[in-house]
Amino acid sequence: MSLEEPQDPTPGELDCLAVLWEARELEQKDAMKLSEIHERVGKRRQEFGEPPPALTTVSTYLRSATSKRLLEEVRRDESGNTTPMVAIRTRGALSSSRSPRTAYKVSHEPGVVLHRTMQAIIQAYPPGKRHQALGDFARAMGLPPKTVEEIKKLVAEKKVK
């Protein structure tokens, strides 16, 4: 693994990343505070029939994802503007202070974070059937059956060439 390549997220970290990616895309919200992330992760879990996590659990996910360089800690002011977090020296260690203005933003796009996971999924297919992963992924996304068939046909054509 290279220094630029982030570590794989745990399922809890992935929940937080998904919430942040969605907020960035749909609301142009670059960073969110712990309380906002906690609320949205809880809603996300309920959609899957799971209980919401405790606030401290989400805080642990965020700290862990930050240490893996999946997230960045920033300061967010009342108008939503963010500035980089400044590290301070405490008892001989360098650390950032947590404050009510601490927010988190994603460091990488989903494709970068999930690249190794997608590779593992593809490698689970037998070698001669790995091209089917695209059609299966399209179906899992809920794309219309006609689109899934078009993808399968396109992939089969490319495989023959």
pLDDT(111) > 80: yes
Give the number of C-alpha atoms closer than 13 A to the C-alpha of residue 90, restricted to the C-beta side.
Answer: 7
User: How many other CB atoms are found less than 10 A from the CB of residue 71?
Assistant: 27
pLDDT(96) > 90: no
pLDDT(99) > 80: no
Please name which of 70, 80, 83, 68 lies closest in space to residue 32, comparing C-alpha atoms. 80
Whether pTM exceeds 0.85? no
Q: Does domain 11-107 fall into CATH 1.10.10.10?
A: yes
Q: Binning pLDDT at 50, 70 and 90, where does residue 160 land?
A: low
